[in-house]
Amino acid sequence: MKKEVQPKVERIQITAPNVKELQLKIRGTRPLVICAFSEKAREEIRTKQEKGDTAETAKTKKVKRAAKDFKQQYEDAKHVSEGGWCGIPSIAFLNAMVRACLGAGMVMTTTAGEV
């Protein structure tokens, strides 16, 4: 009879992340540009993509375009909280921190994992 070899069991302990919250007041020097798609824009994109090859483009056929309401597009593109204040996507802060680390000579890929 062969003796069964038991696999070596290695235990690791995963500690809870050290999550902290920080409140900042941000004052920009340029206009805030947020690129959120409005529900209407998402639906139009979905409709065009669902049509596939049958979709008409400006190159294949002259298409009359509706007038744009730039003010409404601006309002629809904002990230607004339930409290009514404008938000900034958290990924923007991650990207800024990683870029700052790059400027300090750190490796971006390593930094992104640490933030």
Q: Where along the chain do its domains lie?
A: 35-53+66-77, 87-115
pLDDT digits (tens, 9 = 90+) for 61-100: 666 666 777 788 778 878 888 888 888 888 888 888 888 8
pLDDT digits (tens, 9 = 90+) for 11-33: 889 999 888 887 878 887 877 76
Instruction: Please provide the DSSP assignment of the chain as one string.
Output: -PPPPPPPP----PPPP-----------SS-----PPPHHHHHHHHHHHHHGGG---TTTS--PPPPP-HHHHHHHHSEE-TTS-EE--HHHHHHHHHHHHHHTT--HHHHHHH-
pTM of the shown model: 0.41
More confident position, 59 or 72: 72
pLDDT, position 21: 82
105 pLDDT band, cuts 50/70/90, is confident
